[in-house]
C-alpha cells in the first residue's frame, strides 16, 4: 500500500514534463481545424441522414453541383459543375449542368453525370425497405414524387403520351387513397353515430343508401366476398388505385363504382387504367425507373440535364443541399446494391470514397472523427486546411470551457446561461448571427380548446416574445411575426405580435365563460434546462395575460417527438431550421397529413396557393403568392410563432473566411487558419 | 475453495440471465420509438427500419435470436443509434478507457481513504477523528458534477499542461480520476475506521499490547487485515461500478468511455446497446463479487470455513 505513493508521484511528475503546448498551438502548426460538433454522427451516407451535425461532416467530404458562396447568402460558386456555364429554360423548368472533367472521387475516378443520375435514383428509391427521410428534396425533379411513391396511375398512364386521356383530367380519380377514411381510425364506432364533420369525410365516396359497417371492415377486411358494397367502397377508397393489391384490382374490374373516378372518365378508360396496373402486378412489379421518366439524365459523361416539375428559379439554392450531392456509384455497388441501407457498408472508414475537398481519415466512435485533405479534389490547390477534427461534445458547458482552454477553434454553440459570461470574457470570439429557423408552438387542433382559432390566436398574442428573447435566451433572437423568417426577397405578412389586450378580448369572444371552465392543458417540451425555462416563461405569460394556467410536461427526446407524431399532446414547443433559402422549406411542412405537420390543420386554399406558386416562373409574383399562402395559414394560426433563431458560437480569431451565413453551412474549402 | 468459486459463478450466470431477460422486455415497454427523429418517419420508413433491425418478428423469436447470437457467435447485435457499429465493438473500444480511469481512481481512493480511516480509528474521538470524518462526509456529499467543473476551472485553465477535457494526452486522466475518487475514498475511510475500531477492541489486540508489541506492528501485522474486511467487501462492487465509467464524469471531461453508453442507450432507445451493456455489467459485477469474496477469505481465516 505504502509503496504506491512514490509510484503515483513519479507517474504524475512524468505527466508534468509532457506536452506543454495547447491543442490549438499544435493544430495551427499542422493546419488542422478543430470543431465541436455536438454529438456522434448517426452515419455518413448523404441519403440516410437528416441532422445538422452530420451535414457538417458531409459538407467537407462531398461536393454537389454548386457550392455555397463563402459570404453571400442565396449565391453559389463552382462545384462539380461550372457555375457560369449553367443553362436554364426561360421558365426555369429545364436546366443543364456542364461538369468539370477534372472533378474526381478520392480514389482518382472521375465524377460523371452518371453518378448524379445514380444518386438521385438511389435517394428516390421506392423500395419499401429504403429508410431515406429526405427523398422529398428531390420531388423538384419531374416525376420524382411519382417514382418514389410508386404512383402507378401517373407512371403507367399519365406518362404515356398515347394514353386516351390526359393526366390532368385522369388524376381526378382516386389514385392516392384517402387516409382520413381508413377503417382502423373508426374502430368501435358506428356509422350512424358519426358527427357531421366525420360524415363529410365519406361523402365523396358513398351514395345515399351506403352504410358502412366498421366492425366488419376491421375484422374481415381481406375477405372481399364477405364485405358489403358500402364497406368495399370505404376500403378501396382509403387505399387508392395506386396501392390496391391484385385481388382487389380484379374485383374492381367488375365493380367499377367501388372507387371514386370523375365524371370525365369513360368506362373504357377506367378499364384501361385497371388493366395497366394489373399487368404491372402480373409481370412481377418490375422497377419503374425508366417508365417513370424522372427528370434527370446524363446527356454524356459531363453533361447533366434536369427537367423539373415546375418553374424553379431557386434551383441552385436547393442544389446546395446535401441530398443533391453525388454518391460514388462504383463504390456503392462494390459493397452492396443500390439500396443496401443496413449500416451503409460503403461508408465504413475502410471503404468510403468521396468527392469533396476532404476525405475521411479516421472515425473513432464517440471520440473523434477526422478528415484530411483530398489530393484528387479538382480545386485542391485552393483548399487551405489540411484536415478537420470533429469532436462530439454533448456537454455544451464543457465545450465552452474547452474553447477557453485553447482546445477548440470553433464551438457548436454557447449555452444561453453562459452567453453573458461569453459577452464579457470572449467578446471578440463570440458570434451571434441570424440562423434561418423558427421556434414555435405546435397546436393540436383536434381537441378543445384549441379547435377554436380564436383561442389559438389569443394564446399567440399573449406571448411576450421580446422578453423571452432578451431575458431568457439572450442570444440575439428576434420575435417572430410568422412561421417563415425574413430573408432575401421574401416579405413576411407579419401578422403576429405581442398584444395582451387583444388576446384577452379574443379569449372572451371564443366563448369560454370564465377561465375556470377552461380545459386542462399540457405544454409539451423537452427535458433540457433551457426548454424548461422557456416553458416556465410561457406558462407565466399565459397566466398573467389570459388567466389560464397550463401544466408543463417535460419528456425525454424520443417520447417528446413521438407524442407529437401520435397527436398525444395539446400544445408543444417546436422548432424548424430551413433546408434551403426559400419560403417553401417552411411552408410545405403544413400540407394535409404532412409528416411534420401533426396539427391536424388542413387548408385547401393554402395548398392551392402552394401549387400555384409551384407553377409560377416570375420570381416576384411567386414570392407574393407564397406570402399570401403564409397569410392564409397564419389567419388560421395552427402554430404559434415565438422567435426566429440565431446561432451563437465561439470562434478563434485566426480562423478566416468563416462568414455569417443564414443557413450556417460554411464551405470548408475556403476556411483558412492564419498563423500571423 | 473450488466449490465456492463454482457456486459463485453459477449464481452470476443465473443473475445475468434474469437481468437480461427483464431488460429485454422492459426496454420494449418504453414510450416513444427507437427510430423517432426530428424529420418525421413515414409509416413505410418506420416499417422498413423495424424490418432492418428484426423488430417485426414476434417477441419470443427476437428473444431466442438474441440469446442464440450471443451464446453461439458472441454477437451482441448492431447498435440502433450508432449505425454500422457492433455493440461488442463499442464495448471493447470504450471499456479499456473506463478501466484505465477506474483503476487510477480506485488506487487514489484507496491511498486516500484507507489511511484516513486508520488515522481516525487510532485517534478515536479526538480532533483527528472528527476532521477525518468531516472530510469523508464532504466527499460523499459533494457530487461529481460540482467537483468536476471546479477542478476544470481551478486547475486545468491556469495550468497550460493540463487540458480541461478530452482524452488525447496521458495527463487527461488526472482530473477525472481525482473527481471520481472522492466518493469511494469517503466510503473507504468510514468503513476502514469502523473495521479498525472493531478489531482494536478485540482481546487478542490487548494481549499483543500487553506483550509489548509496538504500535506500528500491532496495526500492520495484527489489526490491518481483519480491519479491512468491510472495506474489501465494499471494494468489489465499487470496483465494478467505477470501471464501467461514470456518465457524469465522462460527460464533463469528454472521455469516450463506457459510462456514456448507458445513458445514451436509454435516451436513444437503443435496445441492443442497452442489452449488451447490461449483460457485460452483470458478468463484471459477478466476477468482482467473486474476487471480493476470495480476497476476504484470504484476509480473514475465520471466513475460510463458511
What confidence tens digit (pLDDT) does each residue in B82-111 have? 877 889 999 999 999 999 999 999 999 999
Flag whether pLDDT at A558 surpasses 60. Answer: yes
* Nearest CB to B52 within list A129, A398, A561: A129
Question: Does the beta carbon of A130 lie under 8 angstroms from any beta carbon of chain B?
Answer: yes
Q: Higher confidence at residue A252 or residue B159? A: A252
pLDDT confidence bin for A14, thresholds 50/70/90: low
A482: its cell numbers:
410568422
Q: Are B102 and B245 in contact (CB under 8 A)?
A: yes
CA distance A570 to A77: 45
Q: For residue A605, what are the contacts with CB-CB under 8 A and spacing of at least 6?
A: A632
> Mean pLDDT throughout A380-390?
96
The answer to whether residues A600 and A567 touch, using CB atoms and an 8 Å cutoff, is yes
Q: Which residues pair with B150 in a beta bridge?
A: none
| Structure confidence by residue, pLDDT tens digits, A26-56 | 999 999 999 999 999 988 999 988 889 999 9
The Cα A390–Cα A314 span in angstroms is: 31
Q: Write down the pLDDT at residue A2.
A: 60
Residues A344 and A131: beta-carbon distance below 8 Å: no
Residue B130 has pLDDT above 60, yes or no: yes
Does pLDDT of A109 surpass 80? yes
pLDDT: which is higher, A514 or A345: A345
Phi-psi region of A336 (alpha: psi -120 to 50; beta: other; left: phi over 0): left
Residue A12: the pLDDT is: 64
**Least confident window among A290-304, A431-445, B281-295:** B281-295
A653-663 mean pLDDT: 95
Identify the band that residue B225 occupies on the pLDDT scale cut at 50, 70 and 90: confident
Contacts of A123 in chain B (CB under 8 A): none
Nearest to A366 among B94, B152, B163 (CB): B94
If you average pLDDT over residues A387-396, what whole number do you get? 95
Q: Single out the residue of A49, A24, A37 nearest to residue A394, CA to CA.
A: A37
A515 pLDDT exceeds 70?
no
Average pLDDT over residues B144-167: 88
- Best of A57, A365, A556, A560 to disrupt the B interface by mutation (most B CBs within 10 Å)? A365
User: For residue B43, is pLDDT > 70?
Assistant: yes
Matching residue, cell 396496373? A277
Residue B201 neighbours by CB distance under 10 Å: 10
B39–A134: do the CB atoms touch at under 8 Å?
A: yes
Banded pLDDT at A478 (limits 50, 70, 90): very high
* Chain B CB contacts of A348 below 8 Å: 84
The answer to whether A395 contacts B251, with C-beta atoms less than 8 Å apart, is: yes
DSSP 8-state assignment for residue A35: E
**Cell digits for B188?**
473507504
* Per-residue cell: A484: 417563415
Give residue A10's pLDDT band: very low, low, confident or very high (50, 70, 90): low
Of the listed ranges A72-86, A537-551, B180-194, B202-216, the least confidently predicted one is: B202-216
- Across the interface, whether the CB atoms of A365 and B152 are under 8 A apart is answered no
C-alpha angle A667-A397-B33 in degrees, rounded to nearest 5:
75
Mean pLDDT over A513-534 rounds to 84
Chain A residue with the nearest C-alpha to that of B260: A366
- pLDDT beyond 70 at A434: yes
Put residue A78 in one of left, alpha, beta given phi > 0 → left and psi -120 to 50 → alpha.
beta
What pLDDT was estimated at residue A514? 64
CA A181, distance to chain mean position in Å, is: 27
Q: Do A343 and B83 touch (CB under 8 A)?
A: yes
Query: Between B114, B169, B269, which is nearest A19 by CB?
Result: B169
Over residues A430-442, mean pLDDT: 95
Q: How far is A173 from chain B (nearest CA, A)?
A: 23
CB–CB contact B170 A5 (8 Å): no
- The b/e string for A54-87 (b: 16+ C-beta within 10 A; e otherwise) is bbbbbbbbbbbbbbbbbeebbebbbbbbebeebe
Cα–Cα nearest to A386, from A399, A375, A397, A400: A375
Q: Supply the pLDDT for residue A118.
A: 97
**Mean pLDDT rounded to a whole number for chain B:** 86
**Is pLDDT at A15 greater than 60 in this prediction?**
no
Nearest C-alpha neighbor of B161 from the set A404, A50, A650, A21: A21
pLDDT level of residue A18 (50, 70, 90 thresholds): low
What DSSP line would sit under A432-473, residue for residue? Answer: EEEEEEEEEEEE-TTSTTTTSHHHHHHHHHT--HHHIIIIII
Instruction: Tell me: pLDDT of A213 over 90.
Output: no
Site from B153, B155, B166 to mutate, A interface, most A CB atoms within 10 angstroms: B166
Q: Is the peptide bond between A528 and the residue preceding it cis, with omega within 30 degrees of 0?
A: no
pLDDT band at B236 (very low <50, low <70, confident <90, very high): confident
Q: Please report the pLDDT score of residue A65 as a whole number.
A: 97
**Of A256-265, A388-397, B213-222, which one has max mean pLDDT?**
A388-397
State the average pLDDT over residues A133-143: 93
Distance of alpha carbon A57 from the chain centroid: 18
In the sheet where A296-300 sits, what is the strand order?
Answer: A87-88, A94-98, A303-307, A296-300
Cα–Cα separations (whole angstroms), residue A289 to A127, A150, A158, B34: 12, 10, 14, 32
Least confidently predicted of A104-108, A623-627, B234-238: B234-238
Residue A590 in contact with partner chain B when CB distance is under 8 A:
no
What is the rounded average pLDDT of the residues A374-392?
96
Q: What is the pLDDT of residue A448?
A: 81
- Cα dihedral value A231, A234, A235, A238, nearest 10: -170
A401 interfaces chain B, CB cutoff of 8 Å = yes
CB contacts, 8 Å: B89 with chain A? 365
What φ, ψ does residue A86 adopt, rounded to 5°?
Answer: -65, 130
CA-angle at B136, arms to B131 and B138, nearest 5°: 95
Q: How far apart are CA A551 and CA A570, in angstroms?
A: 10
The residues facing B141 across adjacent strands are none
- pLDDT at residue A3 in the model: 61
Residue among B52, B90, B168 whose CB faces A341 most closely: B52
Q: How far apart are CA B241 and CA B251, in angstroms?
A: 16
**Which residues does A610 contact at the CB level (< 8 Å), separation at least 6?**
A584, A587, A588, A591, A626, A629
Q: Give chain A positions within 8 Å (CB) of B111.
A: 1, 4-5, 8
Share the mean pLDDT of chain A. 91
The predicted pLDDT at position A456 comes to 94
Q: In A203-266, which ranges are continuous DSSP H helix?
A: 214-220, 229-239, 246-254
Confidence check: pLDDT of A570 > 80 = yes
User: Are A424 and B287 in contact, with CB atoms under 8 Å apart?
Assistant: no
What domains lie within chain B, and their CATH numbers?
94-258 (1.10.3720.10)
* Cell, residue B24: 429485454
Mean pLDDT computed over A525-548: 91
Our measurement of the distance from residue B83's CA atom to the centroid of its chain's CA atoms, rounded to an integer in Å, reads: 27
Q: Is the pLDDT of residue B39 over 80?
A: no
All cell numbers assigned to A270: 377506367
CA distance A558 to A662: 28
A298 pLDDT more than 80: yes
Stronger pLDDT, A595 or A294, i.e. the higher one: A294
Whole-number pLDDT of residue A62 = 97
State yes or no: pLDDT of A5 exceeds 70. no
* pLDDT greater than 60 at residue B32: yes
Q: In this structure, are residues A292 and A304 in contact, taking their beta carbons and an 8 Å threshold?
A: no
What is d(CA B109, CA B103) in angstroms, rounded to the nearest whole number?
A: 10
CB-CB neighbors (< 8 A) of A128 in chain B: 44, 47-48
Q: Tell me what the mean pLDDT of segment A299-321 comes to.
A: 95
Confidence of residue A355 (pLDDT cuts 50, 70, 90): very high
Chain B nearest-CA distance from A321, in A, is 15
CA distances (Å), B106 to each of A106, A312, A395, B33, B177, in order?
47, 64, 25, 38, 8
Which residue intervals of B28-155 are DSSP H helices? 43-52, 59-73, 87-122, 127-141, 144-151
In the predicted structure, residue A149 carries a pLDDT above the cut 60 = yes
Please report the pLDDT score of residue A22 as a whole number: 87
| 8 Å CB contact of B40 and A596 | yes
Query: B41: pLDDT confidence band, cut at 50, 70 and 90?
Result: confident
Q: What is the pLDDT of residue A9?
A: 65
Mean pLDDT of A451-455: 91
Amino acid at each position: 500500500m505504502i509503496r504506491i505513493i512514490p509510484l503515483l508521484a513519479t507517474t504524475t511528475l512524468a505527466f508534468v514534463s509532457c506536452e506543454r503546448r495547447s491543442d490549438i498551438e499544435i493544430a495551427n502548426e499542422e493546419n488542422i481545424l478543430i470543431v465541436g460538433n455536438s454529438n456522434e454522427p448517426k452515419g455518413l451516407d448523404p441519403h440516410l441522414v437528416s441532422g445538422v451535425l452530420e451535414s457538417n461532416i458531409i459538407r467537407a467530404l462531398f461536393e454537389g453541383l454548386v457550392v455555397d458562396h463563402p459570404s453571400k447568402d442565396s449565391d453559389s460558386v463552382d462545384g462539380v459543375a461550372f457555375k457560369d456555364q449553367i443553362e436554364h429554360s426561360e421558365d426555369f423548368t429545364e436546366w443543364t449542368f456542364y461538369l468539370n472533367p477534372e472533378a474526381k472521387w478520392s480514389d482518382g475516378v472521375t465524377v460523371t453525370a452518371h453518378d448524379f443520375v445514380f444518386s438521385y435514383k438511389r435517394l428516390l428509391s421506392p423500395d419499401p425497405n429504403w429508410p431515406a427521410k429526405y427523398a422529398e428534396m428531390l420531388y423538384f425533379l419531374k416525376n420524382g414524387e411519382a417514382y418514389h411513391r410508386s404512383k402507378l396511375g401517373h407512371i403507367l398512364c399519365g406518362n404515356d403520351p398515347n394514353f386516351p386521356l390526359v393526366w390532368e383530367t385522369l388524376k381526378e380519380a382516386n389514385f392516392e387513397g384517402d387516409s382520413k377514411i381508413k377503417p382502423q381510425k373508426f374502430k368501435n364506432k358506428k356509422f350512424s353515430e358519426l358527427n357531421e364533420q366525420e360524415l363529410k369525410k365519406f361523402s365523396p365516396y358513398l351514395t345515399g343508401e351506403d352504410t358502412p359497417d366498421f366492425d366488419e371492415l376491421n375484422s374481415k377486411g381481406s375477405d372481399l366476398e364477405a364485405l358489403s358494397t358500402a364497406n368495399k367502397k370505404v376500403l378501396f377508397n382509403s387505399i387508392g388505385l395506386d396501392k390496391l393489391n391484385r385481388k382487389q384490382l380484379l374485383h374492381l374490374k367488375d365493380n367499377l363504382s367501388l372507387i371514386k373516378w370523375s365524371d370525365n372518365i369513360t368506362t373504357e378508360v377506367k378499364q384501361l387504367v385497371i388493366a395497366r396496373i394489373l399487368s404491372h402486378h402480373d409481370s412481377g412489379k418490375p422497377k419503374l425507373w425508366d417508365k417513370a421518366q424522372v427528370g434527370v439524365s446524363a446527356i454524356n459523361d459531363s453533361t447533366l440535364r434536369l427537367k423539373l416539375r415546375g418553374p424553379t428559379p431557386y434551383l441552385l439554392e436547393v442544389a446546395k443541399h446535401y441530398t443533391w450531392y453525388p454518391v460514388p456509384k462504383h463504390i456503392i455497388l462494390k459493397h452492396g446494391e443500390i439500396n443496401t441501407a443496413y449500416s451503409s457498408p460503403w461508408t465504413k472508414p475502410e471503404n468510403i470514397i468521396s468527392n469533396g475537398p476532404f476525405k475521411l481519415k479516421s472515425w473513432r466512435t464517440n471520440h473523434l472523427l477526422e478528415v484530411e485533405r483530398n489530393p484528387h479534389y479538382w480545386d485542391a490547390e485552393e483548399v487551405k486546411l489540411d484536415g478537420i477534427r470533429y469532436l462530439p461534445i454533448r456537454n455544451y458547458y464543457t465545450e465552452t470551457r474547452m474553447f477557453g482552454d485553447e482546445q477548440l477553434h470553433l464551438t457548436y454553440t454557447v449555452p444561453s446561461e453562459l452567453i453573458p459570461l461569453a459577452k464579457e470574457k470572449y467578446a471578440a470570439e463570440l458570434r451571434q448571427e441570424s440562423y434561418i429557423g423558427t421556434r414555435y408552438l405546435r397546436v393540436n387542433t383536434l381537441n378543445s380548446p384549441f379547435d377554436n382559432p380564436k383561442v389559438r390566436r389569443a394564446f399567440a398574442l399573449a406571448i411576450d416574445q421580446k422578453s423571452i428573447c432578451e431575458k431568457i435566451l439572450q442570444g440575439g433572437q428576434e420575435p417572430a411575426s410568422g412561421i417563415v423568417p425574413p430573408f432575401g426577397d421574401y416579405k413576411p405578412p407579419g401578422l403576429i405580435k405581442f398584444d395582451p389586450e387583444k388576446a384577452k378580448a379574443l379569449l372572451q369572444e371564443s366563448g369560454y365563460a370564465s377561465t375556470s371552465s377552461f380545459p386542462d392543458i399540457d405544454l409539451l417540451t423537452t427535458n433540457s434546462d433551457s426548454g424548461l425555462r422557456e416553458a416556465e416563461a410561457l406558462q407565466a405569460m399565459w397566466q398573467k395575460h389570459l388567466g389560464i394556467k397550463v401544466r408543463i410536461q417535460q419528456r425525454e427526446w424520443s417520447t417528446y417527438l413521438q407524442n407529437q407524431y401520435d397527436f398525444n399532446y395539446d400544445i408543444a414547443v417546436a422548432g424548424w431550421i430551413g433546408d434551403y433559402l426559400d419560403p417553401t422549406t417552411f411552408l410545405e411542412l403544413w400540407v394535409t397529413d404532412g409528416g411534420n405537420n401533426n396539427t391536424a390543420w388542413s387548408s385547401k386554399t393554402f395548398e392551392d396557393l402552394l401549387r400555384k406558386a409551384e407553377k409560377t416562373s416570375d420570381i416576384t409574383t411567386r414570392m407574393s403568392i407564397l406570402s399570401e399562402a403564409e397569410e392564409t395559414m397564419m389567419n388560421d394560426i395552427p402554430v404559434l410563432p415565438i422567435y426566429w433563431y440565431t446561432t451563437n458560437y465561439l470562434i478563434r480569431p485566426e480562423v478566416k473566411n468563416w462568414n455569417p451565413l443564414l443557413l450556417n453551412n460554411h464551405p470548408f474549402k475556403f476556411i483558412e487558419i492564419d498563423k500571423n | 475453495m473450488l466449490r465456492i468459486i463454482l457456486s459463485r459463478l453459477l449464481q452470476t450466470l443465473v443473475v445475468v440471465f434474469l437481468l437480461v431477460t427483464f431488460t429485454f422486455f422492459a426496454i420494449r415497454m418504453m414510450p416513444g420509438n427507437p427510430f423517432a427523429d426530428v424529420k418525421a418517419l413515414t409509416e413505410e420508413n418506420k416499417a422498413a427500419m423495424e424490418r432492418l433491425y428484426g423488430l417485426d418478428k414476434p417477441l419470443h423469436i427476437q428473444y431466442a435470436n438474441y440469446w442464440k447470437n450471443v451464446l453461439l457467435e458472441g454477437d451482441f447485435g448492431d447498435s440502433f443509434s450508432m449505425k454500422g457499429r457492433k455493440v461488442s465493438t463499442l464495448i471493447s473500444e470504450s471499456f479499456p478507457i473506463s478501466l484505465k480511469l477506474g483503476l487510477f481512481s480506485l488506487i487514489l481512493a484507496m491511498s486516500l481513504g484507507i489511511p484516513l480511516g486508520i488515522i481516525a480509528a487510532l485517534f478515536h474521538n479526538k480532533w483527528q477523528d472528527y476532521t477525518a470524518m468531516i472530510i469523508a462526509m464532504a466527499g460523499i456529499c459533494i457530487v461529481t458534477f460540482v467537483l468536476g467543473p471546479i477542478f476544470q476551472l481551478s486547475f486545468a485553465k491556469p495550468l497550460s499542461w493540463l487540458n480541461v477535457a478530452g482524452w488525447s494526452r496521458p495527463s487527461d486522466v488526472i482530473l477525472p480520476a481525482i473527481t471520481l475518487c472522492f466518493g469511494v475514498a469517503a466510503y473507504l475511510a468510514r468503513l476502514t475506521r469502523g473495521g479498525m475500531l472493531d478489531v482494536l477492541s478485540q482481546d487478542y489486540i490487548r494481549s499483543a499490547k500487553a506483550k509489548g508489541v509496538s504500535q506500528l506492528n500491532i496495526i500492520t501485522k495484527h489489526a490491518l487485515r481483519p480491519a479491512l474486511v468491510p472495506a474489501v467487501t465494499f471494494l468489489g462492487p465499487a470496483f465494478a461500478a467505477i470501471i464501467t465509467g461514470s456518465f457524469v464524469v465522462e460527460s464533463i471531461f469528454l472521455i469516450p468511455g463506457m459510462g456514456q453508453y448507458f445513458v445514451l442507450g436509454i435516451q436513444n432507445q437503443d435496445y441492443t446497446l442497452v442489452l449488451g451493456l447490461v449483460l457485460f455489467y452483470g458478468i463484471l459485477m459477478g466476477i468482482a463479487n467473486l474476487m471480493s469474496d476470495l480476497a476476504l477469505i484470504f484476509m480473514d481465516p475465520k471466513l475460510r470455513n463458511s
